[in-house]
């Protein structure tokens, strides 16, 4: 799940990523929870720009019973740094 702002996702995202279309992070959390409602027992990977939103989003999803929530360490910034 791409947890970045929609304009960042439009620049580029991972293939098959879920791209929530919202105006704010506050709107994004319940939407993502709803989009993943049938996946509570599946592995979920969140990614963000630097990782801060993913920290909050993963805690939010775990609070609602999602079992295996993961995140891209350091976000897209760290990922891009490592693949160069």
- Its pTM stands at 0.88
Q: Which tens digit of pLDDT belongs to each residue from 52-82?
A: 899 999 999 999 999 999 999 999 999 999 9
User: Which tokens belong to 36?
Assistant: 């993943």
The conformation of residue 13, written as its DSSP 8-state character, comes to: -
Return the pLDDT at 24: 87
Q: Which of 48, 54, 57, 69 is catalytic?
A: 48
Q: Which tens digit of pLDDT belongs to each residue from 11-55?
A: 999 999 999 988 888 999 999 999 999 999 999 999 999 878 999
Return the pLDDT at 51: 77
User: Which tokens belong to 57?
Assistant: 């989003």
Catalytic residue at 48? yes
Q: At 6, is the pLDDT very low, low, confident or very high (cuts 50, 70, 90)? A: confident
- The per-residue b/e assignment along 19-58, b for 16 or more CB within 10 angstroms, e otherwise, is ebeeeeeeebbeebbeebeeeeeeebebbbeebebbeebb
Alpha-carbon separation of residue 78 from 10, 16, 31, 61, 84 (angstroms) = 19, 21, 26, 23, 10
């Amino acid at each position: 799940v791409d947890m970045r702002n929609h304009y960042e996702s439009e620049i580029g995202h991972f293939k098959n990523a879920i791209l929530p279309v919202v105006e704010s992070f506050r709107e994004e959390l319940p939407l993502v929870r709803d989009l993943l409602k049938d996946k509570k027992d599946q592995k979920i990977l969140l990614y963000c720009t630097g990782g801060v939103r993913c920290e909050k989003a993963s805690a939010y999803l775990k609070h609602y019973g999602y079992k295996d929530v993961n995140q891209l360490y350091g976000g897209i910034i760290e990922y891009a740094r490592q693949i160069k």
